Amino acid sequence: MKNTTHFGFKKVATNDKQSLVRNVFNSVASKYDLMNDILSFGAHRLWKHYTIASSNVKIGNKVLDIAGGTGDLAIEFRKKVGDNGQVILSDINAIMLNEGRKNLTNKGIIGIEFVQLNAQYLPFNSNTFDCISIAFGLRNVTDKDQALKEMYRILKPGGCLLILEFSTTDSALLKKFYDFYSFNIMPKLGSIIADNEASYQYLAESIRKHPNQEDLKSMVLDAGFDFCEYNNLSYGIVALHKGVKI
């Protein structure tokens, strides 16, 4: 592993990134869902609905949601797998995982397991899960290549990986607006609503440092997956990559 990595636009010691990311999410956990709704104008719910619909998850399947935060995907997966299936909601951040637990309790959702874990070191046997999802979390992982290899390892043959993440738009006009919104409006809203401008500045920067659609596709294939395709959502502001282990 390299000695330095990116934390937004800053270069930091590789060993320090995890704690820096943890501090970001510790500070925004209680307002996370509210900020998602405001910053995306509610579109994040449509992106996640599309992800669930693309999963092919069935009754009795085992699903792992990584960086699952407040549990949006886990709730929907729970409906799909039924009582004979298994859904694990995981996050590296204990405070975010606790927000997920509270959210599910408040909604009367039962039967979901909670595991605090690092995506680079998944504590499961090989060939365990039918589906793994990670929504808006991969860009925060320090060693993405290692994490993708771990996800490949614990998927069953025939299983799929779903990566929902901010990506790169080809529209010059939209990019201009999106850049202005990301660097001028988002941090200000973060300051007003979540009392945390710096964390939303990091959010904007981390999106720009994340691999584009084709680069991420190559990374998924390099991790061992036999097939990978992606679909752009909102003109490429977000993309859903689907990798399959044969």
Tally of CB atoms within 10 A around 19 = 9
**111 Cβ contact partners less than 8 Å away, ≥ 6 residues apart:** 78, 83, 87
179 is in an annotated binding site: no
184 is in an annotated binding site: no
Tally of CB atoms within 10 A around 223 = 21
118 is in an annotated binding site: yes
Yes or no: say if 36 and 25 are a contact pair by the CB < 8 Å rule: no
CA distances, 158 to each of 152, 155, 243 (Å): 11, 8, 10
Instruction: Say how far apart CA 206 and CA 148 lie, in whole Å.
Output: 18
Q: Considering only CA atoms, give the Rg of the chain.
A: 17
Tally of CB atoms within 10 A around 213 = 18
DSSP string for 179-213: HHIIIIIHHHHHHHHHS-HHHHHHHHHHHHHS--H
Count of residues for the chain? 246
Nearest alpha-carbon partner for 212 in 148, 162, 169, 161: 169
70 is in an annotated binding site: yes
Distance between the two ends of the chain, CA-based, in angstroms? 28
Greatest Cα pair distance, the chain, in angstroms, is 48
Binding-site residue set for S-adenosyl-L-methionine: 70, 91, 118-119
Binding-site residue set: 70, 91, 118-119
